[in-house]
Amino acid sequence: MESIAFQGQLGAYSHLACTQLQPNAKPIAYDSFVMAIKAVEEGKAKWAMIPVENSTAGRVEEIYRQIPKTALHIVAEHFQPVNHCLMALPEAKPTWVMSHPQALAQCHDRILSQNLSPKAEFDTAGAAKLLLEAHDLSGAAIASELAASLYGLEILQRHYEDVTGNTTRFICLMKAAEPPEMLQGQQYITSILFKVRNIPAALYKALGGFATNGLNLIKIESYMDGKTLNSSQFHIDINDHIQSDAMDRAMEELRFYASECRWLGTYTAHEFRLNR
């Protein structure tokens, strides 16, 4: 059976995303995003399911630092609704709550309103597991309903997140580098990583080709490349297939103004985008 790697414990939202995107694959839990990605690089898993941003808490900073370090390609995206639950041991009277930092951020106002002290852990489901093992009646955890069921915790409040419609976007990584066949009427996303040349208005000029060719730039992230404070990398998502004529012209212009340019992947746009 083919396997899919994710960060966290069984019952984590990444686990749920794995079962929905690759229902026939065996989910394998790892302690960190780096370990999950490395598992695919070393052939221990075929895919890695990695969260990149949340509609409430924003981007997962660590992931955008890791993407330039791996040779894996993005082959799919998945939007996972996040329905947080506040849970505890039976008869508990919580004074503090633990979860992944992203989950704590997504439930920030709820936590404050209940005078709970937040404690960060590596994973939502991992926090639920730790609570069970500690048998601490003064604590609570924020995780999925599946995690509560797996670890025998009582759900104190469902839909604990501050904002209704809380959703996390995941990307699925693997070694394959071939883009999917370009089909008429199908929407695609292409992800690119690049650095611009050290010339005036380089970023403006590099991105100009997408505008002049009528392409929708749906995401741009910038971050330091880790080598110098004078150089930035840019991660962009474009709503088109890498092999379209418009993309070909835009990429030619991008490469002219970029000192480095790397194709990260082309994949089918998730239905979540089409329904919004």
Residues 22-47: tens digit of each pLDDT: 999 999 999 899 999 999 999 999 99
Side chain identity at residue 116, one-letter code? L
**In the Cβ-directed half-sphere of 232, how many Cα atoms lie within 13 Å?**
8
- Two tokens, residue 163: 């904002």
To the nearest whole number, what is the mean pLDDT of the chain? 93
Q: 10 Å Cβ neighbour count for 53? A: 20
Residue of 6, 33, 170, 194 marked active site: 170
Q: Mean of the pLDDT values across residues 247-266? A: 95
Q: Mean of the pLDDT values across residues 127-142? A: 96
Q: Mean of the pLDDT values across residues 196-212? A: 91
Beta pairing class for 139-143 and 96-99:
parallel
Give the relative orientation of helices 245-257 and 202-212 as an angle to the nearest 10 degrees.
Answer: 170
pLDDT band at 229 (very low <50, low <70, confident <90, very high): low
**In the Cβ-directed half-sphere of 234, how many Cα atoms lie within 13 Å?**
21
Place of tokens 């208005």: 201
Please indicate whether residue 124 is annotated as part of the active site.
no
Q: 10 Å Cβ neighbour count for 223? A: 15
Q: What is the pLDDT of residue 102?
A: 85
Q: What is the pLDDT of residue 217?
A: 96
Residues 61-65: contacts with CB under 8 Å, at least 24 apart: 62/33, 63/33, 64/221, 64/223, 64/235, 65/223, 65/226
Beta pairing class for 58-59 and 47-54:
antiparallel
Q: Put the strands of the sheet holding 117-120 in their side by side order.
A: 117-120, 96-99, 139-143, 85-88, 154-158
- Two tokens, residue 101: 């930092």
pLDDT band at 231 (very low <50, low <70, confident <90, very high): low
Task: Determine the Cα–Cα distance for residues 167 and 224; give it in Å rounded to an integer.
Answer: 27
Give the whole-number percent of the chain exceeding pLDDT 70: 97
- Two tokens, residue 218: 């749906």
Task: Determine the Cα–Cα distance for residues 36 and 261; give it in Å rounded to an integer.
Answer: 25
Length of the chain: 276
Domains of the chain with CATH codes: 3-82+167-174 (3.40.190.10), 85-158 (3.40.190.10), 188-274 (3.30.70.260)
Range scoring the smallest mean pLDDT among 4-13, 179-188, 222-231, 264-273: 222-231
Please indicate whether residue 170 is annotated as part of the active site.
yes
Tell me the pTM.
0.86
Task: Determine the Cα–Cα distance for residues 108 and 138; give it in Å rounded to an integer.
Answer: 19
Q: What is the pLDDT of residue 144?
A: 93
Residue of 56, 168, 190, 266 marked active site: 168
Q: What is the pLDDT of residue 143?
A: 96
Identify which of 161, 171, 150 has the alpha carbon closest to the alpha carbon of residue 9. 150
Q: Mean of the pLDDT values across residues 9-25? A: 93
- Two tokens, residue 229: 């404070």
